Structure 1
Amino acid sequence: MKPLLSAKFLQTLAPWRNAPAWHIAFSGGLDSTVLLHLLANLAKTETLPTLSAVHVHHGLQAAADAWPGHCQSVCDALGVPLRVMCVQVRAGASLERAARDARYQAFSDVVGAGEVLLIGQHRDDQAETLLFRLLRGAGVQGLAAMPMQRALASGHLLRPLLGSSRAQLQAYAEEHQLTWVEDPSNADPRFSRNYLRHRVFPRLTERWPQAVASLARAAEHLSEAQGLLDELACLDLQTAEQPSPVPWLPLPSLALAPLCALSDARQRNALRHWLSPLTRLPDSDHWAGWYSLRDARGDAQPVWHLAGGELHRCGERIWWLPVAWSDFSDAAVSWPDPQSPLALPGNGQLRLSGRAPGGPLVIRYRQGGEVIDVPGRGRRDLKRLLNESGLPGFVRGRLPLLYQGEQLLGVPSLTGLWNTAWNAAPGDWQLHWMPQTCDQGLS
């Protein structure tokens, strides 16, 4: 049996030795206890980042109330500070998934810029993950199972024991007389992973003794294949990531024509890669939404609804709108002091430069039928002016309109300010809008 503290283990840790801090996800179970002990002992002979442990208390069972105390005693004995975080697990169809989501949110809150969270998941966990996802019909990305490392918040997540078996961890714990807690829920076959672990894998290994190692190795091959697909996606996206016609708009977007030139499979691959940091990806049955959006008429404005937001098509470009984009109020807002910037609820900030028009000013949003005096062009329909500007349709309802009474005085737009000469000569003032989370203003 290979020793856990091997050259491969140290090699896995090597790229992260200069991180500001290492946080160890410490449940108190066998896996995390071994990882904590390994790293605490390694710190005695090696120069490592500052070590600390994080215990997430889900509050799902009475037995778990004793685990923070156990974890504290283990950490005290090893000289590693411990942080206990209590989380609320949302009710849902999958308790396993809800608990995992709450746990990883807590981890994200702990990990700072460049810091590393280390998790004790091992080779048996990898094999179970692969088989579980295979039974759910996952694609290559899902079957690549758990990566050795990935981004987490502004830091990184690392699984340094992924090449070690559960039997190796057990042997190490017994050799060093470690104590750990046993989660009663781990024996409940109603949970899918437990069913695989206790009912399926014993039968598999009875017939194929190397089943766990073989499945873990298959996950490595699939991870390599996913890496190649990611490289292809980056190449395909290069031509689609053309400069936006409205660079002030803080939303990801792509040119549609380069995507349409690809095969359907390459389109899906490129979009998965582009959407993966933005939303939970759809399963195979829901890609019909993409085809409907892609194949819509040029003057249509179709929408593809996804878990984290919406994909809009405007002309020959697609735009990603996160859920938060629609969270704004279209109620009128008075502007008592136009010399000071005005915060618009959920819609960024508005400011006025130059000599402000006299009288009470109010910000309203489009209702339809608005007209405005354009210097040199007379009274013009606002809808026609917006069509000329090429402004995406989903932005038009958020454009702040400056009113004095029932008189529309000004609108920030791509082509400059359209304003009347009400108490000001044209050009004496301008309206500037900085949309929510936007780094550049619109004037």
Structure 2
Amino acid sequence: MAPLLLSRLQGLLNDALAETPPGRAVWIALSGGLDSCLLLALSADVCKQADRPLRAVHINHGLQAAAQTFERHCRMLCERFNVPLTVVNVAVDTQGDGIEGAARNARYEAFFATVPPGDALWLAQHQDDQAETFLLAALRGSGLRGLAGMPFRREAHGITLMRPWLSVNRAQLEAAAHSLALTWCDDPTNSDIRLDRNRLRHRVLPAIRERWPAAAAALANSTEHASETDTLLGEYAQEELQTLLVNSQYIDATALGEFSRPRQRLLVRTYCHQESLPTPPQKRLESLLDQLTAKADAEVCVEWPGAQARLWRQRLYLMAPLQTLPPWSVSWDGQAPLETPLGPLGWQVAPSQAGTQDFRSTQRLQVTWRQGGEVMQLVGRGRRDLKRLLQEAEVPPWERGRLVVISQADACIGVVRPPAQLLCQAEGVVFTRQASPA
């Protein structure tokens, strides 16, 4: 049995290796527990045969006295299999999150900061873990994406995360580890049933298996069905979303409002996912959709952690929260590259008449945020209020205070939206794009 089992586990690793970008390294997320130690041991052989570089990363959360024991064991194991190990110490911030969620967030942040873009990170989660994830999602009232559980593969922060053993249960992994006389560390917190996942693992799932022995496989299979359905819905939603997007900047709220409420929810969530924004909680999403028919001049803003939605002139903008701007004002010669707190200015400016004294002498320019009340002299139009010009250019209200105004002797001569969008320029000056650095 053991040779067949080991052959199957190695076969799954070879399948994962075939989906790993050629020439890139494979990293093992090594905790020191049974699953990840076995993953390291078998991956060492698979990667050696394929002449593929293998590395390991261990995250020390520092949350328990056994943390140093886990780290020492990981170092010993990596020395045994001649695998380079990177150890990352993290601080777990439990404010607002349970200890499980906070530790997971810290762990993945460390993974993304450690594994180079283009490489693959293999994780040792298995079928039983997937079943627990499904039950936790269902008990939290999650939607289809939550019920889809952990994906076999996903791209994040430039790296490929893979879970080769989602079709294998823990009993099989334990049998394989014993057949190799492998050693590992048992996490003492795994028996703490005050933690949700542990309570499911030790109290709920054993009772379910007593009546339905194949429960873990069945629940894991349900996650596959949910994942497939979610993927298909996402593909259809992506196609439909393209008919609603205007200049890749905002969603046509009028057109969105003509759909049924379920389709509205799906499209908003799909757009957030596409833009790597957190999806809105249910109540926030319903509040947002209720306001799709707000008056054109209304300025609707619905916020949730990590994102916000703004509705203006029947345009729905979904974006990261706007950061407060720092006080900022500089003197400029009109030519040198200029960096603003929102990115490069991207332009240079000079008088339009040849022979006119430039701005590098006594007529240096002043560059600052828009304050309000600015007036600009336009070619053929005379003096115009900047406020009116921005309205004509359909600049959203929340962006108008985040514009860079360039002035000469208190006269506004140009307005730029960083990075590098020139909105308007005055008579008597010429703006040209700043050459990109070589």
| TM-score when normalising by structure 2 | 0.89
Cα distance in 2, alignment partners of residues 433 and 260 from structure 1: 42
Indicate the residue corresponding to 1:326 in structure 2: 323
The CA deviation string for residues 334-379 of structure 1, in whole angstroms up to 9 with x for no partner, is 2143321222223542543223455243223333333222232222
Written as runs of structure 1 = structure 2, the 5 A alignment for 1:16-415 is: 16=20, 18-44=22-48, 46-92=49-95, 93-244=97-248, 252-276=249-273, 277-323=275-321, 325-329=322-326, 331-349=327-345, 351-355=347-351, 356-357=358-359, 359-412=363-416
User: How many Å separate the matches in 1 of 2:150 and 2:430?
Assistant: 57
Amino acid at match of 2:54: L
Could you report, residue by residue, the CA deviation over 1:293-325 in whole angstroms, capped at 9, with x for unpaired residues?
4221111121121222222223232223323x4
After TM superposition, the structure 1 stretch with the greater mean CA deviation from structure 2, 199-208 or 156-165, is 199-208
Q: 2:252, 2:315 within 8 Å by CA — same for their partners in 1? A: yes
SS at match of 1:387: helix
1:252-281 deviation line (CA, Å, top 9, x unaligned): 533334322321111111221110242222
Which moves more between the two structures, 153-162 or 206-215?
206-215
Q: Does 1:429 align with 2:425?
A: no
CA gap 1:12/1:428 in 2 versus in 1, 3 angstroms: closer
- Residue 305 of structure 1: SS of its match in structure 2? strand
Aligned letter for 2:233? Answer: L
Q: Report the Cα distance in structure 1 between the residues aligned to 2:160 and 2:422, rounded to whole angstroms.
A: 44
Distance 1:363 1:293 in 2: 38
CA distance in 1 between partners of 2:328 and 2:21 (Å): 55
Compared CA separation, residues 39 and 332, structure 1 to 2 (3 A): closer
Is residue 253–residue 314 contact of structure 2 (8 Å, CA) maintained in 1? Answer: yes
Instruction: Kindly report the root-mean-square deviation, in angstroms, between the aligned alpha carbons of the 2 structures.
Output: 2.4
Letter in 2 for 1:96: E
The DSSP-based 3-state class of the residue aligned with 2:333 is coil
The Cα shift of 1:155 comes to: 1.5
Distance 1:171 1:335, change over 3 A: same
Letter in 2 for 1:300: A
Is 1:186–1:194's contact at 8 Å kept on the other side of the alignment? yes
Q: Which runs of 5 or more structure 1 residues have no equivalent in the other structure?
A: 245-251, 420-425
Gap regions ≥5 residues in structure 2: 352-357
Residues 415 and 422 of structure 2 are in contact (CA less than 8 Å); yes or no, is this contact kept in structure 1?
Answer: no
**Within 2, Cα distance between the matches of 1:318 and 1:113?**
33
- Distance of 1:332 and 1:50 partners within structure 2: 48
Q: Is the 8 A contact 2:153 2:160 kept in 1?
A: yes
With the length of structure 1 as denominator, give the TM-score of the two structures. Answer: 0.88
| Residues 215/52 of structure 1: CA separation in 2 closer, same or farther (3 Å cut) | same
Corresponding residue pairs, total: 419
Question: Which residue number in structure 1 is paired with residue 354 of structure 2?
Answer: none
**Matched position secondary structure for 2:176:** helix
Identity percentage of aligned residues: 38
Aligned letter for 1:256? A
Distance across 1 between alignment mates of 2:132 and 2:33 = 18
Q: What is the identity, as a one-letter code, of the residue corresponding to 1:241?
A: L
Q: 2-side partners of 1:119 and 1:197: how far apart?
A: 19
Q: CA deviation at 1:19?
A: 4.8
Query: Which residue of structure 1 aligns with residue 5 of structure 2?
Result: 3
Q: Deviations over 1:93-136 (max 9, x none)?
A: 31111100010011111222321100000000000000011000
